[in-house]
Amino acid sequence: MSSSGNPIRINRFLADCGLGSRRSCEEIIIGGRVTINGDVCISLSTKIKEDDEVIVDGKRLTPHKETINILLYKPPEYICSRNDPENRPTVFELLPKHLKQQRNIHYAGRLDFKSEGLIILTNSGDLSQKLSHPNSKVDKEYLVSLTKPFNMDDKDRLLEGIEIPSGLAKAINVEKVSKRSIAITLNQGLNRQIRHMMTALNYRVSRLVRVRIGGLTDIALEPGSWRFIGRKDLYKIFNQAKD
């Protein structure tokens, strides 16, 4: 239910309990993992009332009261996951114990294992949905270091789009920073998008750093460090207002 006590859609309720974005929560519902007052629920149109008992995978859910939003600098060779079968370090290990133990905190917009830079951790299903939904079109800027000089003739190909395994990948801005490094801005979220795009152009990426999410940057954050973000920071993200 909403803060006013009105019934809310089941996917939003699960998201508010920290189970992920609304879209990922829909998969939980369709998978038959949710019961409401003892009955299995697979209907996405179901609404939750204040006195309903909602259980997922045997655990009763209660919406969290305090919203936690964190900006973290992910170091390279950390994985965006709670658990890793290969026992690689996870981004949640960088948080203090009292935050690490809050299972409803999840990442919104992952970086791959070798990449580094800014990510957001949150227990807000709404924020996670806004950051991950394709319609949000939140810009993300990356500094990309290459093993050979970048040919500016390839800029147009990055802007026009390149077919990669997960679809047509386009940059919305490309700037040359130095002979072997460029700044690329994306508003898509395709898997390993920049690495696949550069491979298609016969470049190899030696370092990839996310430096901006929407209008939010933080040059003071060092690898492995983090800070809470508030309303002003969220405004920068969604209004593309750079520092």
In Å, what is the CA distance from 236 to each residue of 38, 59, 192, 212?
43, 36, 25, 10
**DSSP helix/strand/coil, 108:** strand
CATH topology of domain 69-134+216-239: Alpha-Beta Plaits (3.30.70)
More reliable by pLDDT, 121 or 131: 121
What is the per-residue pLDDT across 34-49, written as a single tens digit (0 to 9) for each? 999 999 999 999 999 8
**pLDDT beyond 70 at 3:** no
**pLDDT beyond 60 at 1:** no
Rounded percentage of the chain residues whose pLDDT exceeds 70: 94
What is the per-residue pLDDT across 127-177, written as a single tens digit (0 to 9) for each? 887 887 767 789 999 999 999 999 999 999 999 999 999 899 999 999 999
**pLDDT beyond 90 at 212:** yes
More reliable by pLDDT, 136 or 236: 236
Mean pLDDT value across residues 208-222: 94
Which architecture does CATH list for 8-60? Roll (3.10)
Mean pLDDT value across residues 13-32: 86
Two domains, one topology: 69-134+216-239 and 139-213: yes
DSSP state of 90: B
Closest CA to 163 of 201, 197, 203, 112: 197
Task: Name the region of 240 (left: φ>0; alpha: ψ -120 to 50; beta: rest).
Answer: left
Catalytic residues, which ones? Answer: 112
pTM of structure: 0.76
| Beta-bridge mates of residue 176 | 182
Count the Cβ atoms, other than its own, within 10 Å of residue 174: 18
CB 215 within 8 A of CB 236: yes
What is the predicted pLDDT for the residue at 101? 77
Question: What is the chain's mean pLDDT, rounded?
Answer: 90
Query: Domain map of the chain by residue range?
Result: 8-60, 69-134+216-239, 139-213
Task: Name the region of 82 (left: φ>0; alpha: ψ -120 to 50; beta: rest).
Answer: alpha
CA dist 198 and 103 (Å) reads: 36
Q: Which amino acid is at 39?
A: D
Mean pLDDT value across residues 55-74: 87
What are the two backbone dihedrals, phi and then psi, of residue 56, each rounded to the nearest 5 degrees? -125, 125
Model confidence at 125, pLDDT cuts 50, 70, 90, reads: confident
CATH topology of domain 139-213: Alpha-Beta Plaits (3.30.70)
What would you report as the CA-atom Rg of the chain, rounded to the nearest whole angstrom? 20
